[in-house]
Amino acid sequence: MNKLYIARLVIGLMFVIPLSAFILPNPEIIQGERRKVAAFPDLPDRFTARAIKKYFKKINGYLADRLPFRSTMLLIAMKVFKNTNDNQYFCIRGSENWLFLGNGYVNAIDKLQGKLKLSGVTLVEAIKKYVRIRDIAIKRGAKFYLFIGPNKSSVYPEYLPALVIPAKQRFITPLLTSLKEKGVDVYDPTPALIKAKQAGSAPLYFKTDSHWNLLGGYEAFQGFLAFAGFANMPQPLSFVDGPPYSGDAFDAGGYDFFPLASDDNRRPIWAQPINISGNLDTIVKNYDPSERRDPQKIITNFNPVSEKIVWVFGDSFRTALKPYFAATFKESHFYRQIEFDQIISSQLPAPDLIIWINVERGLELNYFSGF
């Protein structure tokens, strides 16, 4: 095969492949990615450099979505990526496209497998931290609860890679045992979540994110109400499917393309409107573990189940609990853990409850504010 023939073939393909994007029929939905095919963009209103750049970027997306055999090529690329992924330090891929954070996030896998033990100075300092927070809460006249956000691997170990075998004892067990001995009220919803899973629940965690979803938050919150002796939140309550969600594990894995689940973003709907300051449906609609889209910190319920005022200090696991606190308590405050010292010394009216929400993998850390 001479060079002239190869050159002609390459030039022909360079002409035919883009042309086929306009000629061949294309589906309206890309099933593997669960999204609509990009439409051909309209001309920009103003021909600035930025607008023109954005316009041609959209054209590029339009052509990429219509590339012949696109789905087949992506599947091949994903299989190659799965076997050559150098991002496993940050993300590991389990069975059925479940993603889990790797050791790049506070040694999550080593803790899971028992290669790291919680003991010595680290354990002592963690105990001191939560006892200190409990004692400060008591001085403010508030009841204190430590509310744990379980790792996804604690609830769904069956989807971990075959070579990742959880230890018989969880990393946090020594801390939980010590805190209970110190009289700190600790609520760990792991058993409640596993029970709901075994009863046939839809996924309680995002498959491509490290967080529980709003359904998982609901199951955890219901268990907390029972644990703390409060009445149930307003019922009846049903759940509907939200849009596919990628999330932090997807980003940590460096994936450009990945099959997103259609059943792991369940969202609550109350049969009767909940009368709060703000819109509960909007809070649910804007739910994002990062809480970037819902900055409202104080929510008042004008017809609450409980007359208690609650201050919630938490990492990102608190966001899936936000609508349920708002639907239940008279007044709910939501703060980051690093705001604790500032808020606790403020002139705000004293709360009845102070609840500290912390993800399992960083429970021993000081004011952990990771994912």
Q: Is residue 332 scored above 90 in pLDDT?
A: yes
pLDDT score of 144 more than 80: yes
**What is the number of other CB atoms lying within 10 angstroms of the CB of residue 236?**
8
Give 220 or 37, the one with higher predicted confidence.
Answer: 220
Q: CA dist 89 to 151, 166, 185, 284, Å?
A: 17, 17, 34, 32
Interhelix angle 190-198/214-228, rounded to 10 degrees, is: 120
Q: Are 63 and 21 in contact (CB under 8 A)?
A: yes
Per-residue pLDDT tens over the stretch 179-195: 999 999 999 999 999 99
| Domain chopping of the chain, boundaries | 3-68, 95-362
20-74 pLDDT, tens per residue? 555 555 555 554 444 566 777 788 877 777 777 777 777 776 766 666 655 565 5
pLDDT in tens, 273-285: 899 987 888 888 8
CA 245, distance to chain mean position in Å, is 9
Give pTM, 2 decimals.
0.77
With a CB cutoff of 8 Å and minimum separation 6, the contacts of 10 are: none
CA dist 320 → 20, 186, 206 (Å): 45, 19, 12
Per DSSP, the residues of 25-59 read ---SEETTTTEEPPPPPPPPSS--HHHHHHHHHHH
